[in-house]
C-alpha cells in the first residue's frame, strides 16, 4: 500500500474506510448468521432523507439463487462465488420523499461494505438499479413487488487475498469558498 505520510497511520490500518476495497473472490469459509445480522444492523444505521428508512433486504444463501444472480449481467459473476448475498431494496410504499431514496440506499450500501470490512470479510457492490434489464431480471427472479426498487446486490465472503487498497486523496479535487 502507498503510504501518504501526511495522514496518521492509524487512519489506514484501523479504519475500515481505508481498508475497504471491492473483493470479488472468496474462500470457502461461510459467513455466519451473526455476521449478516451485524451487517444489516450497520445497513439500517445509515442516514436517510426525513429519516425515512425505506430499505428492505433479501439475504440469499442458496447456491442455485447465487448462480442465477451471477448470470444476470456481465459484471455480476462474484455473486456465484460469494458465501452470501444481500439484496438491497427501496420500498416506495414506506418512502416519504421517494426522490431521495437512491441517495439513502447508496449510504446504506456503503455501510454494508464498511461493516463487512470491519467483520474481516470482503464485499463487492453489484449495480442493478437504474439499469432496466438488470433490475427487471432481479425483480422477477426474487418476486420483488412493483413498489420496491431492486437497488443493488452486495456479495460477501471471506477474501482470498489480503486487502491492499490504494489511497486516492487528490488535492486538486478540493475547492475552498468557490469553485
Residues that bind ligand FMN (CB under 6 A): 21-22, 24, 75-76, 78, 124-127
Minimum Å gap between C-beta 178 and ligand FMN is 29
Distance separating alpha carbons of residues 156 and 137, to the nearest angstrom: 21
**Max alpha carbon distance in the chain (Å)?**
53
Instruction: Kindly tell me which of 67 and 93 has the beta carbon lying closer to ligand FMN.
Output: 67
> Considering the complex, what minimum distance in angstroms separates the CB of residue 120 from ligand FMN?
17
List the one residue out of 157, 178, 137, 118 whose CA is nearest residue 30.
157
Q: Is the CB of 109 or the CB of 176 nearer to ligand FMN?
A: 109
Which residue in the block uniquely carries the three cell numbers 447465487? 66
User: Least distance (Å) from ligand FMN to the CB of residue 6?
Assistant: 20
Task: Give the number of other Cβ atoms within 10 Å of residue 178's Cβ.
Answer: 4
- Give the nearest distance from C-beta 125 to ligand FMN in angstroms: 4
Q: Which is nearer to ligand FMN, 32 or 154 (by Cβ)?
A: 154
CB 166 within 8 A of CB 12: no
CB of 130 to ligand FMN, least distance (A): 10
Q: How far apart are CA 154 and CA 147, in angstroms?
A: 21
- Cβ distance to ligand FMN smaller for residue 53 or 117: 117
What is the spatial distance between Cα 45 and Cα 96, in angstroms, rounded to a whole number?
18
CA gap 111, 42 in Å, rounded = 6
When CB distances to ligand FMN are compared, the closest residue is 127
- The three-point CA angle 138-17-29 to 5° equals 60
- Give the residue with the Cβ less far from ligand FMN, 80 or 127: 127
Amino acid at each position: 500500500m502507498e503510504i501518504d505520510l501526511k495522514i496518521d497511520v492509524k487512519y489506514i490500518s484501523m479504519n475500515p474506510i481505508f481498508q475497504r476495497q471491492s473483493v470479488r473472490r472468496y474462500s470457502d469459509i461461510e459467513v455466519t448468521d451473526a455476521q449478516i445480522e451485524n451487517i444489516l444492523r450497520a445497513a439500517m444505521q445509515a442516514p436517510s432523507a426525513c429519516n425515512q428508512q425505506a430499505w428492505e433486504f433479501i439475504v440469499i444463501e442458496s447456491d442455485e439463487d447465487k448462480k442465477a444472480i451471477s448470470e444476470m449481467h456481465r459484471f455480476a459473476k462474484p455473486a456465484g462465488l460469494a458465501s452470501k448475498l444481500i439484496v438491497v431494496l427501496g420500498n416506495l410504499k414506506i418512502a416519504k420523499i421517494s426522490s431521495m431514496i437512491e441517495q439513502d440506499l447508496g449510504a446504506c450500501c456503503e455501510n454494508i461494505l464498511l461493516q463487512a470490512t470491519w467483520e474481516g470479510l470482503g464485499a463487492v457492490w453489484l449495480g442493478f438499479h437504474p439499469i432496466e434489464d438488470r433490475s427487471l431480471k432481479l425483480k422477477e427472479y426474487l418476486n420483488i413487488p412493483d413498489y420496491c426498487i431492486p437497488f443493488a446486490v452486495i456479495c460477501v465472503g471471506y477474501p482470498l487475498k489480503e486487502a491492499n487498497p490504494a489511497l486516492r486523496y487528490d488535492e486538486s479535487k478540493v475547492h475552498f469558498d468557490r469553485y
